[in-house]
Amino acid sequence: MIRSLSVKLSLLFVGIALISVGVIALWVNHTVRSEFIMYCQRDCSTEGGGLTEMIMVMGTQEQAFLDAFRDSLWLAVTVAVIAAIALGLLFGRLISGPMRQLSFSAKKIATGDFSQRVTAKTDDEIGEVSVAFNSMAEQLEKKEKGRRQLLADIAHELRNPLSIIQGNMEAWLDGVISPTPEQIASVYDETVLLSRLVTDLRELSLAEAGQLKLRQEAAVLGELISAEVSGIQSRCQQKKISVSAELSDRLPQVFIDKDRIRQVLHNLMDNAIRHT
């Protein structure tokens, strides 16, 4: 079974050309022979009257002409067939060349090489496919970079609380220090942070899968901000940080998912405290 697109297109083009040339050659041969035979016919009168009859005058020269015409016709057919084969191979390569490049680049992308691009040399359908392929490859490359950055950020966020927990546990086990209620509370806070990070990752995966549902309801954004600021006051006092909220009294009512907005505000406040 033929699998090469170039060979299939070439055979199709050559087949169509052969059929067309064959039909034209047969028609020309039949027409010329018929017309030539009619030309060779002569009117001849009988001796007794005006009756006439048709006689065929076909000599050596006439037969030589038909033979020469037939040979020339077959020579022209042979040249046309050779030209059809050459053009078929050429057009097959012109059409299948970009497809081979697309196939090669697609295989590279399948292995993780998202830098592959193809050259759009024409403005036809193949060129449009090439442009669409490049756009797809660019989007995949951006998503891959975002995924790697996300993994790096996750590793960074998990490393800090784990290092604190591990350091305290090793010190307690080695007897270097004795656990105090404050240290135990600090380790507990780090475990809470880890739990929240895991929850965030799960919600992120749901959001990317389009399965994160939002429950929108009427809310005053200023009240949510004030509540979050009040909730972090104890942590701010421990780090000797002063935080306050200056809000306008004319903030409009909005329709939002309160839980998600609280989560966003909490993450912002938490990052601000930890990096201040």
The model's pTM: 0.48
- Give per-residue pLDDT as tens, 194-253: 887 888 788 777 777 777 677 788 888 888 888 878 777 777 777 788 888 888 777 788
Would you state the pLDDT for residue 110?
A: 83
At 177, the pLDDT band (50, 70, 90 cuts) reads: confident
pLDDT one-digit tens code per residue, 162-174: 887 888 888 888 8
How large is the average pLDDT for residues 35-44?
A: 62
Q: What is the DSSP letter of 240?
A: T
* pLDDT of residue 51 exceeding 50: no
Residue 78: pLDDT over 60: yes
The predicted pLDDT at position 56 comes to: 55
Check pLDDT > 50 for residue 45.
no
Residue 225, amino acid: I
Q: Is the pLDDT of residue 39 over 80?
A: no
User: pLDDT at position 94, please?
Assistant: 75
- Local structure of 45: helix, strand or coil: strand
Is pLDDT above 70 for 105? yes
User: Would you state the pLDDT for residue 193?
Assistant: 76
3-state secondary structure of 252: coil
- Rounded to 10°, the helix 60-110/125-174 angle is 20
Is residue 211 within 8 Å of 250, Cβ to Cβ?
no
Burial 137-154 (b: 16+ CB within 10 A, else e): beeebeeeeeeeeeeeee
Q: Which fold has domain 214-276?
A: Heat Shock Protein 90 (3.30.565)
User: Residue 248's pLDDT is what?
Assistant: 79
What pLDDT does 29 receive?
A: 74
pLDDT value at position 44?
47
Region 128-152 average pLDDT: 85
pLDDT greater than 60 at residue 178: yes
Give the residue range(s) of CATH 3.30.565.10 domains in the chain. Answer: 214-276
Rounded Cα gap, residues 255 and 220, in angstroms:
9
The answer to whether 76 touches 10, Cβ cutoff 8 Å, is no
3-class SS of residue 190: helix
**Residue 41 confidence (pLDDT):** 61
pLDDT value at position 1?
A: 46
Task: Give the pLDDT score at 6.
Answer: 62
- Please give the mean pLDDT across all residues of the chain: 77
Q: Rounded to an integer, what distance in angstroms lies between the CA atom of residue 201 and that of residue 122?
A: 45
Q: What is the pLDDT of residue 209?
A: 72
Whole-number pLDDT of residue 147 = 82
